[in-house]
Structure 1
Amino acid sequence: MPVPADLPARDHGAYPAVRGRLPATLLMAGSCLPILGAVLLAPVMPRMQDHFEAVPGSAALVPLMLTVPALSLALLAPFAGVVVDRLGRKRLLVAATVLYALFGTVPLWLDSLYGIVISRALLGVAEAAIMTCCTTLIGDYYTGKARDRYLAMQTMCASASATVFFVFGGALGAVGWRAPFWLYAVGLLLAPAMARALPAPAPDAERVQMEERLQAGRRPFPVRRMAGLCLLTVFGAIVFYTVPVEMSYLLDDLGVVSTGAIGAVTAIASAATVLGSVVFTRLTDRPQRRLPALFLLCAAGFLVMGTADSLPLLLAGAVLNCVGTGLLLPSLLTLAMSRLDFADRGRGTGLWTAAFFLGEFLCPLVFLGGKGASGDLAWAIALFGLFTLLVSAALALFTRGARPPQQHAPEQL
């Protein structure tokens, strides 16, 4: 998708007109960094497990390296949002990107499994700041259709990068289990580019921003405006990550053990998510009215996957579900951004980010429990599809009589 070259900013003239493609490109690249942390090490996990076999608790600690950044991000993103609103978006983004590179490459020189796990937790701290800042700056720089388009592109880039990073991780893993950690050094390339190219607040707007932050400190954060949407986002994130997390296990249950076949199916599902994000950019406003239909689409995909007895049917269900998740994530995010004033946007974005990555962390735990209760992962997927269907029906009831949304007005969710 081409990036529009000239899209204006909006909030009280706080930022000059954002011209050219470079600022948007840098924000898209920054948004992909937490995805790098989540998928890069997956191909080398068995080799890491062998290397740390003698370390007590390694069977749990090695897989924990994949999930602990997401947990740190979920726990700390709200605090990152507070810092964003108080210290400024650009300054924190540049600093966090440098720290991302430092914490991400630490395992290249450590031979302590416990030390590596701690460095991964610190990486999650940097990721929380990066994700919150990038999303907040998109909300600051752009408005209306342009903002929606860039938020959809954020989802699209993240989905596409997951597949690319998985391939890079596997290729570098052939050299050794430490080699993929070198990719985290990309933060040292992005940070100076962000410092130079991202627009800073206009000098005559700094006083206005300070006054807004002081006013925000005197009034309560609009919790009611965000609480229901954040809860729905936790559930939406579980829906979003189900196919990436569980697809390989479903394929294995069908007798598909070739890593090439598993990779191909995963790539097709990722492409479907990208397709959904592209379709989102063509839709009209009022994303809250679309949510019931999108959850219904995701539920249908789950039900097909849970009852599939062949690879084509399983793939069809995954594609159906992923088109829905590609539409769902930017819909939830644009709805959240529409509810936030400038002075609250950092904190609100931090809460939304925390909700999303909490859902990512909970996703494998939900299906671990579901598999234990039902005795079969496919049945657990089907039952989750039925629950998603109930959520869709509940949302349809809540939104049926809703008025057209107005900027920052609470929606009926």
Structure 2
Amino acid sequence: MSASEATSAPSSPAWRPGTPQAALLLTAACASVLGSLLIAPVLPQLKRAFAATPGIDTLAPMAMTLPALGIAVLGPVVGWITDRFGRTRLLFGAMLAYGLIGTAPLWLDSLTLILVSRTLLGVVEAAVVTVALTLLGDYFSGSRRDRYMSWHSVVTSIAAVGILAVGGGLGSSGWRTPFWVYAGALPLLAAMMVLLREPQFDRAAAGLGVRQVSPLPWRALAPLLTLTVVGAVCVFFVLQVQLSFVLDDLGVGSAGIGASAAIANAGVVAGSLSFMRWARHGAGRLLVAAFLIGPAGLVLISEGHDWTAVTAGAFVAGVGCGLMLPSLLIGTTSRLSFDRRGRGTAAWTSAFYLGQFLSPIAVGALGAAGGSLPDTIRYCALGGLLAGGAAVLLLRRHPLIVSAHDEPRHADGVGPAEPASHG
């Protein structure tokens, strides 16, 4: 791969991506959170509405988890399309499909068709999230790119709290009502068509033919992707999914569970903001710290005997998760040149959402082996600590680098003059 990564604005040379474009892309990247959490408060209503359906106890929760499975499985395909055929057209088409498919359960009377629509929604979410994060990498460089990538976990954590509140509020009017929120993709699409431009890649300068893409640097990416799966399975989604069950076993009501979940997500925000503040002084250390602090918080949760103790542990675990996500995302994207960025970003997204799908299965398997929920959480914490040890070894061979300053840019203002490629 050549060391040059030439990009140019598709129209006026005076066009510059800035805060409006970043805000739009960060909002779009929340699509996966919307898909997973919006209907969580109405799952009991959905279950009652289709109570006569065989296997309803298993099928109803799948309405929440299937979009994540769609992202995990088809994310790599989306990444390949993004690198080979371009960014914005795929994003525009995916946003239109997101609005249409997301609202489909408003009119569907079959649980099977609803689950099919939720699976298709995951496919569309894979495209939206992958292209949004890829364009963040295309439009910005250096410390500015790293800052916006860090904001991704901040924005999605804040969005998670808001989405749960919106889903619960709208759910008071019936289980179908929250699905109207997906129609918000249409005005967002209109804004994208006005504000976003397709970055162009000089394939000849990079030694590539038309539609040709260079291979991914799997040797550099595989350890980070593995850490992403392990971190998601053993830490992040143990916190997000199992916290409510721990509190329920302690006799805490729904209001207390909601407050604890909000505080846990506040911890994620605090961790992400800390990463933004301290990463330039040692991003690798922050990644190792994430795999120490997150599991420590899980241990505190497992040892807690009342709401206060468990919630304190949830906040600590959230801080670890907030350090973990931007460390792994930036560590991955920093190793990608322009024509690899779509596939590499999709690989990270797939790894993370594969962890979301696998985490409840892993916890269930450990529980079935005879352990209580607190014991299972401690086992997961141990897995996270082992991942932290692996991170130490990884960083000796492939240091985690973030930029202390913005990289030189082409005159068109789109993309860095040199790629941050470690292949």
Q: Common fold, TM-score beyond 0.5?
A: yes
Change (3 A) 1:402 1:58: closer
Change (3 A) 1:142 1:39: same
Out of 22, 28, 31, the position equivalent to 1:24 is: 22
Between the two proteins, the alignment pairs up a number of residues equal to 397
Q: Does 1:59 align with 2:53?
A: no
**Amino acid in the other structure paired with 2:89:** R
List per-residue Cα deviations over 1:94-138 (Å, max 9, x = no partner).
110110011000110110111111011110110000010011001
Q: Does 1:297 align with 2:293?
A: yes
Shift of 1:341: 0.8
8 A contact 1:86–1:213 mirrored in 2: no
8 A contact 2:28–2:129 mirrored in 1: yes
Counterparts of 1:183 and 1:11 in 2: how far apart (Å)? Answer: 39
Shift of 1:350: 0.9
Shift of 1:393: 2.3
Counterparts of 1:140 and 1:128 in 2: how far apart (Å)? Answer: 18
Change (3 A) 1:32 1:405: closer
Pairing of 1:46-85 with structure 2 (within 5 A): 46-85=44-83
Change (3 A) 1:216 1:224: farther
Change (3 A) 1:154 1:87: same
What residue number does 1:369 align with?
Answer: 365
Q: Does 1:315 align with 2:311?
A: yes
Pairing of 1:267-286 with structure 2 (within 5 A): 267-285=262-280, 286=282
8 A contact 2:83–2:339 mirrored in 1: yes
Pairing of 1:119-134 with structure 2 (within 5 A): 119-134=117-132
What residue number does 1:409 align with?
Answer: 422
Pairing of 1:6-405 with structure 2 (within 5 A): 11-15=5-9, 18-201=16-199, 205=200, 207-208=202-203, 214=209, 217=212, 219-238=214-233, 239-256=235-252, 258-285=253-280, 286-400=282-396, 405=401
Change (3 A) 1:165 1:177: same
Shift of 1:311: 1.9
Structural RMSD (CA): 2.1
Change (3 A) 1:351 1:19: closer
SS across alignment from 1:83 = helix
SS across alignment from 2:53 = coil
Counterparts of 2:166 and 2:196 in 1: how far apart (Å)? Answer: 28
Shift of 1:269: 0.8
More helix by share: 1
Counterparts of 2:270 and 2:208 in 1: how far apart (Å)? Answer: 39
SS across alignment from 1:315 = helix
Shift of 1:90: 1.2
Query: What is the TM-score normalised by the length of structure 1?
Result: 0.91
Shift of 1:402: 6.0
SS across alignment from 2:174 = coil
Shift of 1:144: 1.4
8 A contact 2:287–2:324 mirrored in 1: yes
Query: Which sections of structure 2, spanning at least 5 residues, go unmatched?
Result: 403-419
Change (3 A) 1:99 1:213: farther
Counterparts of 1:314 and 1:184 in 2: how far apart (Å)? Answer: 34
Shift of 1:19: 4.2
Counterparts of 1:363 and 1:195 in 2: how far apart (Å)? Answer: 37
Query: Which sections of structure 1, spanning at least 5 residues, go unmatched?
Result: 1-9
**Amino acid in the other structure paired with 2:58:** A
8 A contact 1:337–1:349 mirrored in 2: yes
List per-residue Cα deviations over 1:35-68 (Å, max 9, x = no partner).
1110011111111111101122222211111111
Instruction: After superposing the two structures, state which structure 1 stretch, 208-217 or 116-125, moved more.
Output: 208-217
Counterparts of 2:399 and 2:36 in 1: how far apart (Å)? Answer: 39
8 A contact 2:17–2:139 mirrored in 1: no
Counterparts of 2:181 and 2:213 in 1: how far apart (Å)? Answer: 43
Change (3 A) 1:248 1:218: closer
Runs of 4+ in 1 over 6 A off after TM superposition: 209-212
Counterparts of 1:209 and 1:134 in 2: how far apart (Å)? Answer: 26
Counterparts of 1:245 and 1:272 in 2: how far apart (Å)? Answer: 15
Query: What is the TM-score normalised by the length of structure 2?
Result: 0.89
Change (3 A) 1:292 1:403: closer
**Amino acid in the other structure paired with 1:12:** A
SS across alignment from 2:51 = coil
**Amino acid in the other structure paired with 2:315:** V
List per-residue Cα deviations over 1:308-363 (Å, max 9, x = no partner).
22222211111111001011100100000111111111111111111011001111
